[in-house]
């Protein structure tokens, strides 16, 4: 395959349905992408992920670069072979982790009265310059540097089908002056990533075509978001993403940002909302705002914490809504009320856990006993729930 193409199949008031081709097969949108941070979707193996019909999964550049490292990945022929996954994959640029993880660690150190030491005076976790970001490994405290070109080079060695431009993920509360400065940098970095990608024939080190997506930033400033949408779409990436701390966390603001930029986004390119997909309703809102691709660690993280999705897609006055009997659309499986509950997590759910009759009572027991099998059965349900929801939304759009 020599290129990447997105076909918009249908557009309605409820959103868009489309499909795109990658070197590892087709993806139908809207699509929820399970997150496999360290080349594994936590507690699931690749057979589980295939069985729950995930069409594409995500891995994190920052984590894979630090461990096992690109030399190990290269020696194994890339991430697909390494983890035994033959379907499409996407990697982020590492930008988000370098900034957000850094801030978390700094705040934790500060709260504990520690400063980060690297054999010299205390340094912040990450330091941004116009050339890139110097940061500290959360594993061993070693110092590293990502430039836009290096981020693309690392992603070429990981070998995913879709790679992301290196951007600066500005905090929500950044003022307009700082956001403007960061945005100019993000736009210069986007151009540098694009040039590096072109220079290498848009291919991974294994010879396969890699689609490159650009990322729109601008925090909560309308004029900067609009300007960023213009700048990023002008570069002609294969797809367009919207990023930032807000996206997926503050949903009213996320939808507002999506509405600001919607008119500027080309119809024939996929639109990816980064880190969005904690609650089922989030997917509906983002699809309705014209977005096609979503990823979030929430389904597996919530599963591990005993929160299991429940509810159904429904239609109301021509629109799609999510209905659930449980608060937040999920039940707390560890609660006493489920101790003798013989029903499955969600009657009608087609996941392995529900179709094999694993009861709420059994899962309640496994969760309370902290048994390893709980993590797998619960994660299978939650991940399948979000994948199935995105597929149901797609069917609803296609059938009008
Ligand atoms: Zn299920």
User: Is there a single domain that holds both residue 317 and residue 382?
Assistant: yes
Q: How far is the CA of 303 from the centre of ligand 1 (A)?
A: 12
Last residue of a domain, one of 267, 296, 325: 296
Which of 45-59, 112-126, 261-275 has the weakest average pLDDT?
Answer: 112-126
Cα 350 to averaged position of ligand 1 atoms, centre (Å): 6
d(CA 375, CA 196): 41
> For this structure, is 92 an active site residue?
yes
- Predicted confidence at residue 329, as pLDDT, reads 93
pLDDT: which is higher, 120 or 36:
36
> From the candidates 167, 279, 292, 295, which is the catalytic residue?
295
Ligand 1 mean position to 313 CA, how many Å?
Answer: 14
In terms of domains, do 359 and 265 share one? no
Q: Which of 94, 95, 50, 54 shows the shortest CA–CA distance to 70?
A: 94
Assess whether 184 carries a catalytic annotation: no
Could you tell me if 197 and 304 lie in one domain? no
Residues 163 and 279 in one domain: yes
Mean pLDDT within 283-287: 97
Asked if residue 260 and residue 221 are part of one domain, the reply reads: yes
Per-residue model confidence as pLDDT tens digits over 155-173: 999 999 999 999 998 888 8
Ligand 1 centroid, distance to 382 Cα (angstroms): 7
The share of the chain scoring above pLDDT 70, in percent, equals: 94
Whether 279 and 305 map to the same domain: the answer is no
Give the pLDDT band (50/70/90) at residue 97: confident
The CATH number of whichever domain residue 145 belongs to comes to 3.20.20.105
Same domain membership, residue 302 and residue 249: no
Catalytic residue among 92, 161, 238, 279: 92
| pLDDT value of residue 106 | 64
Listed residue (222, 215, 259) closest to 237, CA to CA = 215
- 341 and 359 in contact (C-beta within 8 Å)? yes
Tens digit of each residue's pLDDT (9 = 90 or more) over 374-388 = 999 999 999 999 999
Residue ranges making up the domain that contains 86: 5-296
**At 187, which helix (H) or strand (E)?**
helix 176-199
Q: Quick one: 276 and 150 in the same domain?
A: yes
Among the three residues 249, 275, 296, which one is the final residue of a domain in this structure?
A: 296
Average pLDDT, the chain: 94
| Helix or strand (DSSP H, E) at 212 | strand 211-216
């Amino acid at each position: 395959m020599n290129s990447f193409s997105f076909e918009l199949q249908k557009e309605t008031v409820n959103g868009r349905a489309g499909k795109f081709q990658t070197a590892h097969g087709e993806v139908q949108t809207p699509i929820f992408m399970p997150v496999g941070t360290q080349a594994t979707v936590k507690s699931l193996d690749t057979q589980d992920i295939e069985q729950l019909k995930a069409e594409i999964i995500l891995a994190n550049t920052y984590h894979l670069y630090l461990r096992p490292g690109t030399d190990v990945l290269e020696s194994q022929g890339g991430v697909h072979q390494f983890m035994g996954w033959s379907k499409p994959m996407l990697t982020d640029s590492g930008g988000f982790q370098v900034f957000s993880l850094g801030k978390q660690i700094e705040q934790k150190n500060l709260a504990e009265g520690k400063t980060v030491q690297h054999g010299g005076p205390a340094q912040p976790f990450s330091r941004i310059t116009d050339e890139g970001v110097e940061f500290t490994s959360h594993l061993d405290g070693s110092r590293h540097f990502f430039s836009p070109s290096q981020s693309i080079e690392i992603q070429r060695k990981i070998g995913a089908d879709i790679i992301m431009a290196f951007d600066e993920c500005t905090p929500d509360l950044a003022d307009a002056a700082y956001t403007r400065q960061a945005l100019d940098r993000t736009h210069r970095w986007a151009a540098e990533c694009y040039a590096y990608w072109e220079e290498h024939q848009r291919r991974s080190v294994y010879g396969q075509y890699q689609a490159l997506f650009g990322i729109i930033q601008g925090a909560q400033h309308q004029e900067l978001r609009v300007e960023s949408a213009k700048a990023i779409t002008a570069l002609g990436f294969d797809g367009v993403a919207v990023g930032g701390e807000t996206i997926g966390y503050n949903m009213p603001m996320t939808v507002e940002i999506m509405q600001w930029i919607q008119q500027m986004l080309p119809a024939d390119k996929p639109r990816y909302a980064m880190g969005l997909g904690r609650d089922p309703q989030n997917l509906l809102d983002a699809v309705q705002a014209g977005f096609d691709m979503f990823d979030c660690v929430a389904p597996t993280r919530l599963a591990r914490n005993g929160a299991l999705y429940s509810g159904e897609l429904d239609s109301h006055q021509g629109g799609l809504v999510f209905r659930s009997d449980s608060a937040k659309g999920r039940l707390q499986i560890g609660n006493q009320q489920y101790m003798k509950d013989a029903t499955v997590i969600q009657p009608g759910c087609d996941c392995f856990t529900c179709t094999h009759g694993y009861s709420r009572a059994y899962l309640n027991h496994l969760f309370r006993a902290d048994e390893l099998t709980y993590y797998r059965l619960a994660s299978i349900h939650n991940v399948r729930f979000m994948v199935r929801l995105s597929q149901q939304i797609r069917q609803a759009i296609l059938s009008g």
